[in-house]
């Protein structure tokens, strides 16, 4: 494609897919199910969950040209929310021109826990466990030998006393998998030895979604000139974006919405790559509260001397490229092909970069034109569809609706009826 995506948004879905195939970005075997709208077969869906009736489809889109650690990604987004893809495309383009994202995968291990209770002397119990650390790690590995063969396995264990509990934690290198079932299997193999060593009882043994051993940071530096052509306005925007980031640290009401904007991008890629978005959300929101109050996950700082805006986002990103339902959905296989079959660490780094890009677009809109200006047209389009407009009727209806100050479904229906009368 040589980075030339001009006009991509104006094409039909079939034309976009054709372009991806012709440019070698999507192999034939992954392209075919998308082109034929054969994504998740019902018989597969029926194996994945219980009481299945049908499958539910969502828009599957592409955001071109995310430059992360020097590599350019064409990123699949699955989202039903209008303007998310457009905003991400806008941000990806600006950030690419400013040099792209740089990321840091701090670690890639998953933590599980066994909650022990009815322990007489917690210090003594913890000591007994720590004396057997090597044996316990080996025992965990024996419970899931295939991950050891793949280069992973149990890496560390520690204990903490909290309320009535002595909690045992295990950290495991799960390689390309998210690791929930791996951790659960390993932990269950340790409950009996731990009960014996501590004299207590095990309440539960389960993976923790607070994946603090899977933290990933994405950073970007944006030149002021990409914020606005007007030098003074660009500087003002950078200052306001820094303030917006401060506001999300100070007020949980704003922080929740700030983070939701980040997840508009993150969830779209997590979904497109077949990952467990509940796990990612739970871990990130817990991380956002790590200092005792819920805060914004990203930080933006303006450097007026260098005329640069610095963005940073850190959160747990325990995504996988193997296991769970990842191999089962042909659309997910297409996503991984589009991304060049990334390893789990690379995918995590890309997803956090997407979150930062989405946050940039949202904050920039909020402190400048406001969010509604960009949303109006998309909202009008959504209402036009709900009012029953056919494809050829949508442009006229949307332009009439946006010309009306306050529009809703009833207005859309009225205008559509008028347009149809005029065209009779």
Contact by Cβ (8 Å): 362, 264:
yes
**What distance in Å separates the CA atoms of residue 41 and residue 238, rounded to the nearest whole number?**
48
**What distance in Å separates the CA atoms of residue 227 and residue 223, rounded to the nearest whole number?**
7
Contact by Cβ (8 Å): 31, 17:
yes
Of these residues, 81, 102, 195, 337, which one is catalytic? Answer: 81
Contact by Cβ (8 Å): 374, 103:
no
Q: Which is nearer to ligand NDP, 144 or 360 (CB)?
A: 144
Please provide the DSSP assignment of 257-324 as one string: HHHHHHHHHHHHHHHHTT--HHHHHHHHHHHHTTTSS---SEEEEEETTTTEEEEEEEEE----SBST
In angstroms, give the least distance from the CB of 178 to ligand NDP.
4
Q: Which is nearer to ligand NDP, 127 or 341 (CB)?
A: 341
Q: Which is nearer to ligand NDP, 108 or 240 (CB)?
A: 108
Nearest to 214 by CA among 287, 113, 263: 287
Contact by Cβ (8 Å): 401, 375:
no
Other C-beta atoms closer than 10 Å to the C-beta of 105 total 17
Q: Which residue has the tokens 């021109």?
A: 97
In angstroms, give the least distance from the CB of 346 to ligand NDP.
13
In angstroms, give the least distance from the CB of 113 to ligand NDP.
11
| Contacts with ligand NDP, residue ranges (CB under 6 A) | 146-147, 150, 175-182, 207, 209, 276, 279, 320, 322-325
Of these residues, 11, 133, 201, 260, which one is catalytic? Answer: 260
Of these residues, 375, 377, 393, 414, which one is catalytic? Answer: 375
Q: Which is nearer to ligand NDP, 348 or 415 (CB)?
A: 348
Q: Which two tokens stand for residue 345?
A: 């660490």
Q: Which is nearer to ligand NDP, 270 or 279 (CB)?
A: 279
Q: Which is nearer to ligand NDP, 343 or 375 (CB)?
A: 343
**What distance in Å separates the CA atoms of residue 324 and residue 238, rounded to the nearest whole number?**
42
**What distance in Å separates the CA atoms of residue 126 and residue 167, rounded to the nearest whole number?**
9
**What distance in Å separates the CA atoms of residue 99 and residue 82, rounded to the nearest whole number?**
28
Task: Mark whether 195 is an active-site residue.
Answer: no
Q: Which is nearer to ligand NDP, 116 or 279 (CB)?
A: 279
Q: Where does 69-109 show beta strands of DSSP type E? A: 71-78, 101-105
Task: Mark whether 230 is an active-site residue.
Answer: no
Contact by Cβ (8 Å): 143, 182:
no
Question: Nearest 5°: phi and psi at 47?
Answer: -85, -25
Task: Mark whether 285 is an active-site residue.
Answer: no
In angstroms, give the least distance from the CB of 402 to ligand NDP.
41
Question: Nearest 5°: phi and psi at 421?
Answer: -60, -45
Of these residues, 141, 173, 267, 276, which one is catalytic? Answer: 276
Q: Order across the sheet with 308-316: list the strands.
A: 71-78, 60-68, 101-105, 215-223, 308-316, 298-303
Q: Which is nearer to ligand NDP, 13 or 327 (CB)?
A: 327
Task: Mark whether 375 is an active-site residue.
Answer: yes
Which residues does the annotation mark as catalytic? 81, 260, 276, 375
């Amino acid at each position: 494609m040589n980075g030339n995506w001009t006009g991509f948004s104006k094409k039909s879905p079939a034309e976009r897919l054709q372009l991806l195939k012709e440019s070698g970005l999507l192999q034939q075997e992954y392209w075919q199910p998308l082109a034929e709208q054969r994504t998740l077969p019902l018989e597969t869906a029926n194996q994945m969950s219980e009481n299945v009736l049908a499958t539910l489809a969502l828009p599957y889109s592409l955001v071109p040209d995310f430059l992360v650690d020097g590599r350019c990604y064409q990123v699949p987004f699955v989202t039903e929310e209008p303007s998310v893809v457009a905003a991400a495309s806008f941000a990806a383009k600006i950030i690419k021109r400013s040099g792209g994202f740089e990321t840091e995968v701090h670690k890639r291990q998953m933590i599980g826990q066994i909650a022990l209770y009815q322990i007489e002397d917690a210090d003594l119990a913890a000591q007994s466990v720590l004396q057997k650390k090597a044996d316990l790690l080996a025992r965990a590995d024996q419970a899931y030998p295939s991950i050891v063969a793949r280069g992973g396995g149990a890496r560390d264990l520690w204990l903490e006393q909290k309320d009535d509990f002595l909690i045992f934690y295990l950290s495991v290198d799960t390689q390309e998998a998210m690791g929930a079932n791996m951790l659960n299997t390993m932990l269950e193999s340790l409950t009996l030895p731990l009960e014996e060593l501590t004299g207590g009882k095990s309440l539960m043994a389960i993976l923790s979604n607070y994946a603090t051993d899977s933290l990933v940071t994405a950073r970007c530096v944006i030149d002021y000139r990409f914020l606005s052509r007007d030098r003074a306005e660009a500087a003002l925007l950078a200052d306001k974006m820094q303030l917006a980031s401060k506001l999300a640290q100070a007020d949980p009401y704003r922080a929740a919405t700030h983070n939701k904007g980040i997840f508009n991008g993150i969830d779209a890629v997590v979904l497109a790559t077949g990952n467990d978005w509940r796990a990612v959300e739970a871990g990130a929101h817990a991380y956002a509260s790590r200092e005792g109050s819920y805060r914004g996950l990203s930080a933006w700082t303006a450097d007026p001397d260098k005329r640069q805006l610095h963005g940073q986002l850190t959160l747990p990103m325990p995504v996988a490229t193997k296991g769970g339902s990842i191999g089962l959905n042909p659309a997910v296989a297409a996503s991984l092909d589009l991304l060049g079959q990334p390893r789990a660490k690379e995918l995590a780094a890309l997803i956090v970069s997407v979150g930062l890009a989405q946050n940039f677009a949202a904050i920039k809109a909020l402190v400048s034109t406001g969010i509604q200006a960009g949303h109006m047209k998309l909202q009008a389009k959504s209402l036009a569809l709900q009012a029953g407009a056919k494809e050829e009727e949508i442009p006229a209806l949307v332009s009439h609706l946006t010309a009306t100050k306050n529009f809703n479904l009833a207005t859309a229906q009225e205008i559509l009826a008028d347009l149809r009368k005029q065209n009779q």
